[in-house]
Amino acid sequence: MDDMDKNYWENMLFQTEELESCFDESFSYYDSSSPDGAQSSAASKNIVSERNRRKKLNERLFALRAVVPNISKMDKASIIKDAIDYIQELHNQERTIQAEISELESKRSIFLDFDQEMSYNSKPKRSRFEQTCDSAGSRSSPIEVHELRVSHMGEKTIVVSLTCSKRTDTMVKICEVFESLDLKIITANITAFSGRLLKTVFLEANEEEKDVVKIKIQTAIAALNDPDSPMSI
């Protein structure tokens, strides 16, 4: 590669030298054909200008080659092609990494949110859940929760496990309950067995008293069964 480079510049130099003799030739030639001094001056200006343009373009190309790794050939066209491929590769990487970063951030906010308290959760953004639920008709069939257990795991985590009937959108409705209580879902799990659904949901505990949260959850989920009755475990 280095020697190719050397050859490249040697060629450049060589042809630059060659240019001068050529230039003399053309100059005398022009002098004979059209003796107008202004015209020949303009022509030589054009020549030197064009020479500078080519030089600048080659320098740019050389600089482009410098910022692009993995240059296969020293070809002008190949340099540009490699640059194009490299830019596209960078674009793909950028997209991937952006997705990864946003995912990391979202997961981190779900995860435990230690010091910085849910900054962008101030408004209960009823986002996708309720939208999909609206289209499906959330009011239609009650969920029929059969068993419900709310327990604490460590200081920061609440585990809710419940069984309910096999309906569609049961998990969505459960999640809506937690959302309405400002409880963040860490992870959730559905298991189907004997015509029932067993759900296990890990929640991030907020600052409230444990028992208060527990009662709130039980009340809200029990309300899914019969919105009129205040509750009955």
Partner DNA sequence: CTGTACACGTGAGCC
Partner DNA sequence: TGGCTCACGTGTACA
Residues that bind its own copies (CB under 8 A): 53, 56-57, 60-61, 63-64, 67-68, 76-77, 80-81, 83-84, 86-88, 90-91, 93-94, 96-98, 100-101, 103-105, 107-108, 111-112, 114-115, 128-129, 132, 151, 153-154, 159, 187, 189, 191, 193-195, 198, 200, 202
* Minimum distance of its own copies from residue 109's CB (angstroms): 11
Reduced to 3 states (helix: H, G, I; strand: E, B; else coil), residue 165 is strand
Smaller CB distance to DNA: residue 7 or 191?
7
DSSP 147-166: EEEEEEETTTEEEEEEEEE-
Structure tokens of 157?
């985590």
* Candidates 14-22, 138-146, 148-156, 208-216; binding stretch for DNA (CB under 7 A): 14-22
Residue 74 found at the interface with DNA (CB under 7 A): yes
From candidates 6, 31, 36, 42, binder to DNA by CB under 7 A: 42
Nearer to DNA, 50 or 182 (CB): 50
**Token pair of 154 as six digits:** 């460590």
How far apart are CB 123 and its own copies at their closest, in Å?
A: 19
Residue 55: name its binding partner from DNA, its own copies, none (Cβ under 5 to 8 Å by kind).
Answer: DNA
Burial class of residue 48, CB neighbours in 10 A (0-12, 13-18, 19+):
exposed
Q: How many CA atoms lie within 13 A of 49 on its CB side?
A: 6
| Residue 83 binding target from DNA, its own copies, none, CB below 5 to 8 Å by type | its own copies
Tokens 């028992």 found at: 211
Q: Tell me the C-alpha distance between 219 and 233, whole Å.
A: 8
CA dist 60 and 66 (Å) reads 10
Nearest to DNA of 16, 191 (CB atom): 16
Residue 191, interface with DNA (CB under 7 A)?
no
Cβ-based neighbour number of residue 198 at 10 Å: 16
DSSP state of 183: -
- Judged by beta carbon, residue 61 or residue 205, the one nearer DNA is 61
Decide: is 84 part of the binding site for DNA (CB under 7 A). no
- 196-204 sheet: strands from edge to edge: 145-153, 157-165, 196-204, 184-193
Q: Tokens 């067995």: give the residue.
A: 193
Binding residues vs DNA (CB under 7 A) = 7, 11-12, 14-16, 18-20, 22-23, 26, 29-30, 38, 42-43, 45-47, 49-51, 53-58, 74-77
